[in-house]
Amino acid sequence: MELRRNHPKLKVVFVSAIEVSDERRLSLINKEGLADYIVKPFTQERLREAVEKIFGKK
């Protein structure tokens, strides 16, 4: 994740077509410093949840 190395404060929501176990998802979030990991297709609500993690709930 070169982007994270160059911009360590940047919050990243990783979007993937690959479903992974909760354990693997949490591992990726922690290891790579992701704000969230969401799988396509996703709902607007799921995307909103990911963004609210970054900016806080209104």
47 has a pLDDT exceeding 80 = yes
Instruction: With cut-offs at 50, 70 and 90, classify the pLDDT of residue 25.
Output: very high
Check pLDDT > 80 for residue 32: yes
Determine the average pLDDT of the residues in 34-56.
95
Cα–Cα distances in angstroms (integers) from residue 58 to residues 13, 34, 48, 50, 55, in the given order: 19, 21, 11, 13, 9
> How far does the chain reach from its first CA to its final CA, in angstroms?
30
Give residue 1's pLDDT: 63
Query: Could you count the other beta carbons within 10 Å of the beta carbon of residue 17?
Result: 7
Number of H helices, E strands in the chain: 3, 2
More confident residue, 7 or 3: 7
